[in-house]
Amino acid sequence: MGEALPKHDVFHAISDPTRRKLLHLLGDGELPVNVISGHFPMSRPAVSKHLRILADAGLVKDRKVGRETRYRLEAEPLRELQQWLTYFERYWDNKLAALKQYVESGEQENG
């Protein structure tokens, strides 16, 4: 049997600003859920729900230390996002080059 597919994909997981903030917070190291919750103006169960979505997408891992649950960032799944964005960089680069050329040509006409 193959590996089970995640319940949520990376794109869905990072679509919410709270979850993006969670990833930034966990980028500095492993934190217990009670400390993580202190960074957000919502209940601990609401934060736990966001962490569960991130975990389902493989972006965070949790572990029990006594009665405490600690979370850490797992950045590997973000490679999928990076690859997707890299494909579209060529379009951004072309648009930026065209904008630069337009602005510079306008400066010469006005200068």
Distance CA 39, CA 41 (A): 7
At 1 the pLDDT is 47
Identity of the residue numbered 91:
Y
**Whether pLDDT at 110 is above 80:** no
At 92 the pLDDT is 76
Distance CA 29, CA 74 (A): 10
Distance CA 70, CA 60 (A): 10
Distance CA 75, CA 72 (A): 10
Distance CA 96, CA 100 (A): 6
Tokens 């991130």 map to which residue?
Answer: 54
Task: Give per-residue pLDDT as tens, 48-105.
Answer: 999 999 999 999 999 999 999 999 999 999 888 888 888 888 777 777 788 888 888 8
**Whether pLDDT at 2 is above 80:** no
Distance CA 56, CA 8 (A): 6
Name 84's Cβ contacts closer than 8 Å, sequence gap at least 6. 11
